[in-house]
Structure 1
Amino acid sequence: MTEFKVGDRVHHDVRGDAEITYGPFDSPWGGTRYVIRLDSGKETAVSPGTLSAIPEPPKFAIGDKVTTRASRQEGRLVAGPFVSRFGGRRFWVVESTDGKHEAPSEESLTKLSEPEPVKVGDRVRVVKDSDGYRAGQYIGRVGVVAEVEPRNELPYKVRFGDGSGFHGDPDGHWWCEVVERVTDEDTYTHNGVTYDLSAKYRDRDGDVWHFARFGDKVVGLIGRDPVDEHDGDPFRFAAGYGPLTRVTD
């Protein structure tokens, strides 16, 4: 006979899914009983023969990024789970970032969430561009990911500005080693100058431009906000009437 404990999720063969709230106890009419709480909130006493366990989803899996309570180091699960000869506790093998291994108990592990991988079309800020030629030229600049090649030493091809320039131009593109997704601002960099797309800008003729981003395209329109990528001119057209001065009133 399967034994249950308070808190276990179970399935009753007639009443459906439930949770054990009390038991086991001896019934006055003979046999063992448990009290279960149905999903409706009602409780009832039932015999264990009418119950089946609902398996809990595994807490961890090979490849999960975790920290351990003892070392407080980050690592990845590379083997497990195993059952210890001493006390029957479950443990995993963790490989830390320095390549060393430890075997903590499952109870001492905390799973870490990982950010969604950067993909084509994401707006990113360059953390590290490339070594050697023009190293550091693009660090801190914001652009749009045009290609991702995970097997490359420089996996992210980032397009800057409107992408109309040649490879390496301010409004061209560059292969970068490390980038981070931009979530804190909506900006656009043109010829080394970063513009706030939520603001309005006045050109040298006194016209006031409104800008908006649609995917990897930025367009401007005089007098009102663009409604789509075809409703206005490319940013470089407005910049041709520069310098653009931010409107503060």
Structure 2
Amino acid sequence: MTKTLKVGDDVIWRNGTDLRGTIQYGPFLSAAVDGEDAYLVRGQDSEPPTSYVVSASSIEKCGLQFAVNDRVIDADWWGTGRIVYGPYSTSGVSMYLVSRDGEDLIQPTRASQLHAVVASIGDRVRVVKGDDAVPRISAMFEGKIGELVEVDPAGPVQYLVQIGSGAHGAPDGRWWCAEVERVEADDSRPAGFEYYGVFYEYGVSYLDKDGNIWTFDGTMNREGIPVAVSENPLMHGCSLVRVVRNYGPLDRLNT
């Protein structure tokens, strides 16, 4: 999965110490980092300011600041823990003291290798983003709610979500996802499907630009995309994607 970085992002990277800067350009292929994807980064800690070519694999987006008792994932250790002190600086490196779960150990840990715990195993979560490397399958899971069954802090896609009893990659199965959000027990969001940022509720009628009425009852096609019920038999069974692209935008009729 490609890291989501853009011009203007504040980032941190390792070069003897943790360095901070702002992305000026990229990504681009660079011989300076052995042909890897790279970014041009303007350093924040040098005077006068210096720009660096930094490999994408060694760069992380800044912005996460932790407080005492925050739950975190240590990407180097592959485990979770709790912040007990920090941040503080050691030889120019931003650090925290982390109490590791299941161990009687408090470990000094670089800030750059810590990530916020968004959910715990067993929580109900909504899939925000699947795996960019497999977009066709990932689209079947984005917007769905399931159970978080495994976390891989070091992986490019960290969260394994179980939607139903199906096999891995099946629409009612499980899938490794890049981003999830915890769903509270009293979450009132109805059953439905999210497509390009718009949520379509099952059992609700929608009016298209030509005056046709569409309803989605939760029936899926082989690709895991909802199919429509239409008053026009020639249009019955069209996928939500086809309906939105060819006849949208769709306006909700009933509440």
Using structure 2 for the length normalisation, give the TM-score.
0.31
Which protein shows a greater Rg?
1
Higher share of residues assigned helix: 2
